Amino acid sequence: MNESSMGGWLFVLIIIVVLLGAGGGGLFGGNNAALAGYATATDVTNAINSAFAQQNSQNILLSSANNNYETARLIDNQSMAMMNQNNSNLLAAINGFNATNQAIANGFNSVNQNIANLGYKMDECCCSIKTMMLENRLQDTQIALQNQQNIAVNQNQTEYLLSVMGSWAPKAAAAYAAK
Amino acid sequence: MNLMQIITQNSDLVFKAVGAMMRGESPVDFMKNLAKTHPKFQGYNFDDLEGTANSVCANNNVDIEKMKSEIADFAKSHIK
């Protein structure tokens, strides 16, 4: 191996090192550290940070999903409770309406019965009044008749007495005059 | 990334070059054969190794004289 071939191998090593180590940037402390696809400490740190960030994002998404599921579950439960409560309220209202309707019907029935009773009593009262009026009229007629009978009797008696007295009086006057 | 890291991470290629050098093979042929299987080394004129080394170092902002010194120091401390 001569001197020129040794120099050739030096250039080979230089070419290999530069092309493998400097895939587009500086070498030996150059600013462009991402050389030839080999990971630097910065690359590793960034990768780890990225992995942590991804894990955190995943955890956040998972937590968010869990929270969303829990929220939806609570809303669903609340909705079911509200629906059940509304159904109960509706049933109570219907029952209340039914009870009110029944009470109103009972009230009307009682009123109708009272009206019927009132009509019956009015008929009864009217009948009683009519009867009483007839009885009063009969009594008045009887009294009037009795009065007429009394008058007639008195008149007859008066006439009889007067006739008796009349026939007696002239005789008495003649007897007195003859004395 | 320093020279030690580059050589360590590409030790198979470096050892191939050292082996070929020890066997007395031609560095030009070694690079031409390497370019057939390694895309990073394709498109270069390896008939002029010095010119290619200079242009490669210039294109990558590498001081070729410093590189020579680094490789020499590395060889002295690692190749007995």
For A44-54, b/e burial (b = at least 16 CB within 10 A) is eeeeeeeeeee
Residues A84-88, mean pLDDT to the nearest whole number = 87
Tell me the pLDDT band of A36, cut-offs 50, 70 and 90: very low
Condensed to tens digits (0 to 9), the pLDDT of residues B31-60 reads: 999 999 988 899 999 999 999 999 999 998
Element (H, E) at A32: none
Give chain B positions within 8 Å (CB) of A20.
6, 9-10, 13, 40
H helix or E strand, kind and range, residue A23: none
Give residue B71's domain range: 3-78
Total beta-carbon pairs less than 8 A apart between chain A and chain B: 101
For the ranges A21-30, A60-69, B64-73, the lowest mean pLDDT is seen at A21-30
Question: Mean pLDDT: which of A154-158, B53-57, B76-80 is highest?
Answer: B53-57
Alpha carbon of B61 to those of A24, A28, A127, A138, B56: distances in Å?
9, 10, 139, 155, 9
Chain B residue closest in CA terms to A1: B24
Residue range A137-143: mean pLDDT, rounded:
92
Judge whether residue A26 has pLDDT over 50.
no
pLDDT value at residue B44: 94
* Confidence check on the interface: ipTM exceeds 0.90, yes or no: no
Q: In this complex, which of B9, B26, B60 lies closest to A26 when CB atoms are compared?
A: B60
B10 is written with which tokens? Answer: 């590409």
What total number of domains does chain B contain?
1
Does B4 contact chain A (CB < 8 Å)?
A: no
Tens digits of residue pLDDT in A73-82: 888 888 888 8
Per-residue pLDDT tens digits for A100-116: 888 888 888 888 888 88
Query: How high is the pLDDT of residue A50?
Result: 56
Q: Does B70 touch chain A (CB under 8 A)?
A: yes
pLDDT, position B45: 93
CB atoms within 10 A of CB A36: 17
Mark yes or no for CB contact A10/B28 under 8 Å.
no
Overall size of chain B counted in residues: 80
